[in-house]
Amino acid sequence: MLTGSSLRIFGSERAKTESRVHGAKLYSVLRVAIGQQLRPGDNGIEVGMHALDEAADRLARLLETTPPRLAAITNDDAARRSGPDRWAPKEILGHLIDSAGNNHQRFVRGQLSPSVDSPGYAQESWVAAQSYVTEPWPDLINLWLLFNRHLLHVMRHVREDALETPIAIGGEPPVPLSFVMIDYVRHLEHHLAQILGSN
Ligand code: NI
């Protein structure tokens, strides 16, 4: 069984609280990912590809269903923080736009090089530096949507022989490109649920 500290290899961009939220669901994928690295000759890749297809399908559905729900939130409500240390919906979506930008680099570079060293991501500084909270909510929705449509397109056209490219993020031990893609969708689902709740 993998420990909590092992989980951290999947993204210094994620706060510890988020790792706990994501944790349980990640374990099975995690084992597949590590298995691929330790035993490149086994057939773990089939599981990995299936998981990747599944993640792409979930992303496709989200890109159909969530934009109208996001658009139903007013600009004022989207700028409102529910507490001093909480992000407003605009900032959460901004964080997802940052995630899209950072992962776009990984998705492409992972197909162009035998291994990738990807910088980490200081989420609070990034979100504050871009003043997402003062940006028009409809613009953020559109940017998020179109960027993710493209990332979905990239995920569905990724070269099969690149799926195991080791990606190191922020100096952490590397994980396969397929896992970076799957984890990208999980992270997006987590934050969309924060914005939309159970509505
Ligand atoms: Ni996050």
Tens of pLDDT, residue by residue over 71-100, are: 999 999 999 999 989 999 999 999 999 999
The pLDDT assigned to 25 comes to: 37
* Structure tokens that stand for 81 in this block: 């923080």
Cα 98 to ligand 1 centre (Å): 9
Cα 18 to ligand 1 centre (Å): 7
Cα 124 to ligand 1 centre (Å): 10
Cα 42 to ligand 1 centre (Å): 32
Residue 166's domain comprises 4-196
Distance CA 164, CA 112 (A): 12
Cα 95 to ligand 1 centre (Å): 7
Query: Which pLDDT band, with edges at 50, 70 and 90, does 198 fall under?
Result: low
Sequence-distant (6+) residues with CB within 8 A of 153 are: none
Q: With left for phi above 0 and alpha for psi between -120 and 50, is residue 131 left, alpha or beta?
A: left
The pLDDT assigned to 32 comes to: 46
What CATH number should be reported for the domain holding residue 171? 1.20.120.450
C-alpha dihedral sign at 187, 13, 166, 27: negative
Cα 101 to ligand 1 centre (Å): 13
The pLDDT assigned to 49 comes to: 79
Cα 39 to ligand 1 centre (Å): 30
C-alpha dihedral sign at 79, 85, 87, 91: positive
- For residue 29, pLDDT over 90 is answered with no
Cα 154 to ligand 1 centre (Å): 21
Cα 190 to ligand 1 centre (Å): 8
Cα 86 to ligand 1 centre (Å): 12
What is the number of domains present in the chain?
1
Residue 102 or 40, more confident: 102
Sequence-distant (6+) residues with CB within 8 A of 72 are: none
The DSSP bridge partners found for residue 116 are 167
C-alpha dihedral sign at 56, 13, 36, 109: positive
